[in-house]
Structure 1
């Protein structure tokens, strides 16, 4: 009878220790959407991405996070002033551009966030690809990319 109790105790311990291991094996999939021109809102988006990456890491979860820029989001992917376009840089963006660019770079290169830009938006204003920040992937259509990611189980987040 003692062997059965010890066996049960050992089995219970293995079951309890398996729970965090299972959570660590689960991945988290999120896509953020930026199609707005508000600098404060964009900054909040970068903060949210950083926070979610930290939370996943603390839970030992693999994170697959995408940031997709469409329309007005183009402003946050280049140092080009985009003069004469609907996406032209303004005073708020010019004052914070270096800070925001550095935060985006850190998310891409230190945290592994995949950053994409709608090529339709880029082509619409005639911005050459070499004017984009390094590491940004062009996708044919940003909204299409977001829809595909959602169909693959990615959670959709857009900071308000």
Structure 2
């Protein structure tokens, strides 16, 4: 074999090896880009959705949030928990009886209102849970902003907020 032929054969072998070295990282990059966006760390990122009237179900939601945070603390994971109130969820954001609206307080809510409010305030103030109320719902019944519990933020659309958080990799939970 001539020196030129040997050189060309060696160059072809190097080219094949180089193409494999380039192809593998490119394939890994393509796979990574095709996967859904997820958080870069192990934080518990969750959005809870409340659009129901039942105080017992709402209580179960608050318990679930607390349990999730307790678990995160025990496993030394950070957390970022959001609670989004839409529709009937407005009942749990105010002491106003909401008379004359589809969301009017009933006996079951009135009996538990102080307890539920206290648990929510603890989650907001101590556990750093972010609570959002759909402003479309609030405006629908003309409830003044100053009648909302301390620490509840308004978002234009509750469902849009949930969708946005899901796009950011938050898990969606709704207690049944």
Tell me the TM-score range normalised by the shorter chain: 0.7 to 0.9
Name the counterpart of 2:43: 27
Which aligned pairs between 1:126-145 and structure 2 lie closer than 5 A? 126-145=142-161
Q: Distance in 1 between matches of 2:142 and 2:87?
A: 13
Which ranges in structure 1 are unaligned for 5 or more consecutive residues?
Answer: 1-24
Aligned partner of 1:12 in structure 2 is: none
| 1:92 maps onto 2:105 in alignment | no
Matched, 1:54 2:44: no
2:170 is the alignment partner of 1:150: no
- Correspondent of 2:126 among 96, 100, 110: 110
**Larger Rg belongs to:** 2
Paired residue total: 136
In the TM superposition, structure 1's runs of 4+ consecutive aligned residues that sit over 2 Å from their partners are: none
**Shift of residue 27 of structure 1?**
1.1
Tell me the C-alpha RMSD between the 2 structures: 0.6
* CA distance in structure 2 between the aligned counterparts of 1:27 and 1:97, rounded to whole angstroms: 31
Deviation at 1:26, TM superposition (A): 2.0
Give distance in 1, aligned partners of 2:99 and 2:85.
19
Kindly indicate whether residue 147 of structure 2 is the aligned counterpart of residue 124 of structure 1. Answer: no
Structure 2, unpaired ranges of 5+ = 1-40
TM-score normalised by the chain length of structure 2: 0.77
